[in-house]
Chain A
Amino acid sequence: MAQAERYGYTVARLRAMGHRLLDPGVFQRMLDAEDLQGALKVLNETCYASWLVEMKSEGAFDEAIEAELRYVYREIEQFVPDKALVTLCKMPYDFHNIKVLLKSSFLQKAGGNRRWDLLTQLGNYAPEFLIESLESEDYRLLPFGLRSAIPHCLAQWEQVHDILEIERQLDDLLFTQMTALAQTLDQKGAVEWVMGRIDAENIRNLLRLRRTQVETSKVAGFLHGGGIISVERLLALLGEPLESWGRLLAYTDLTGALSGLQEVSDFDTLIVEVEKALDEYVLRVVEDARFSSTAPENVLFYLWSKEMEAKNVRIILVGKASGADRDVLRGLLRHVNG
């Protein structure tokens, strides 16, 4: 079946679903609310209402946000012709769960408590399945190359007890698997989106490592291949002043995201600004799909917009719960465009 016929319905439905995304007015009203209760009251007028009812306490808003995301993923999975597009977006959650389980297992061995409360239901595989696989040490059915990666991580932990190294290896595997999955789809936009995510993650890592002044020789291990910008090129940035990063990467679309590097002097503020710009950069990679009535990338665009919306809601609610300044919170909000 031609692409036009396959995605005509999907794109139209996603466009109509765009109305459900929270608009800047709702975020503004949530910001203007006196406290967490006020912000939740505003949120109760939106598509999150059905999940807020099930909330056990005011502080359990994370569950409501996760429930809404899960509902959207499940709904889109039902009508999208290539389910792999949804799998692609959910894959980082599977890796998050694996990291949580591995860390819990290490903590438990050291006499600590398991942190299964940090597991998410948003992944492609239920946390219960992952728990069972890890506890029974039966990794045969684990997806995304985890079958061989987990025994390797466990062996590594026994030898060096370096959690950062394990995280690095799992992240590397995540991006390799995402790239491989995107390539099987035969959709240029999906591959570019994954490349954009790799670039964003690399820049994020590079900034954090620069802040902690990690040795240049160790930085390469934390950068992932497969992005638009090569690892060599990224490593070359380390020797340059932050202000010139945008200019040096002017041949990529990242230059807009890095423009903030010239304006902020404080490193912490800078990292926050760049993280926000990088999230928006990932959205921009597939933004052109909005002008097509048949482009499969619209699925990625919508799901990433929904993720940004959920992030905004979480930022506001966490901020309100901790009494953060509304202008600071406003500065942290991502642009959501349905």
Chain B
Amino acid sequence: MDQVVTTLLTTMSEQLGAMIAVLGAGIAAGFAGSGSAIGIAIADEAASGIMTEDPGKFGLALLLLALPGTQGIYGLLAAFFAILKVGLLGGAAVKVTIWQGIGIFGSLMPIAIACYYSAIAQGKASAGAILLISKRPEEIGKAVILPAMVETYAVLALLLSIILMNSIKL
């Protein structure tokens, strides 16, 4: 019995680091994706509203609808980096200690948190911009720039997550 427990604990300690990193990757992709889905839904409501009256605005609205979707892509990208780093996507096997796993998990938090909130905020900004183009379709350039400002902080979070992840030597 003792031998079984000892084997189990040894296996766990060998794989726990990688699993913590995987947990971080899951959270990053999950939160960023959820934020994007909520953001797009908010913008979608506004787009449906104006398209009920003027279906011709679909093209313009689509451009603004797509903006909150980028955070989900950033989250997925960061998650890929993480699982690539711990060697779960092929390549040579990498041994990840618990502390290294926690480090990778921590490096994924900026992208998870910033993308979740920024996608929702961008959805609201896009909804406002969709109202703008319902009245002034010629102002589509400005209407895209306004919600795109929110994107800056999701990009910064992605940058930080990548820098932090690269700073962890395996």
Contact = CB atoms under 8 A, between A and B. Distances in A.
Is chain B's interface secondary structure helix, strand, loop, or mixed overall? helix
A9 interface: yes
Given A15-B50, A293-B127, A9 B135 contact: no
9 contacts: A4-B124, A8-B45, A12-B46, A12-B49, A13-B49, A17-B53, A18-B135, A293-B46, A293-B130
Contact of A15 (B45, B48, B124, B135): B135
Contacts of B131: 11-12, 15, 293
A120 B82 CA distance: 69
A160 interface: no
B47 interface: yes
A12 B45 contact: yes
B42 A9 contact: no
A5 B54 CA distance: 21
B71 interface: no
Among A4, A5, A10: residue with most chain B CB under 10 A: A4
A15 B42 CA distance: 16
A16 B54 contact: yes
Given A12-B127, A18-B135, A293-B124, A5 B45 contact: yes
Nearest to B61: A12
Given A5-B41, A5-B45, A8-B46, A16 B52 contact: yes
B49 A15 contact: yes
Interface string B10-45: 000000000000000000000000000000011001
Contacts of A18: 135
B100 interface: no
A140 interface: no
A56 interface: no
Place the interface of chain A in its size category.
Answer: 10 to 19
A11 B42 contact: no
Contacts of A13: 48-50, 52-53
A8 B50 contact: no
B135 A8 contact: no
Nearest to A8: B45
A109 interface: no
Given A293-B124, A293-B127, A16 B50 contact: yes
B134 interface: yes
B106 interface: no
A18 B50 CA distance: 10
B42 A16 contact: no
Contacts of A12: 45-50, 127, 130-131, 134
A294 interface: yes
Contacts of A10: 49
Interface in B114-151: 124, 127-128, 130-131, 134-135
B135 A11 contact: no
A13 B57 CA distance: 12
A16 B49 CA distance: 8
Interface in B50-79: 50, 52-54, 57
A4 B57 CA distance: 21
A263 B136 CA distance: 38
A233 interface: no
B53 A9 contact: no
A170 to B, nearest CB: 37
A19 B53 contact: yes
A11 B50 CA distance: 9
Interface in A1-40: 4-5, 8-19
A293 B127 CA distance: 7
A199 to B, nearest CB: 30
A11 B41 contact: no
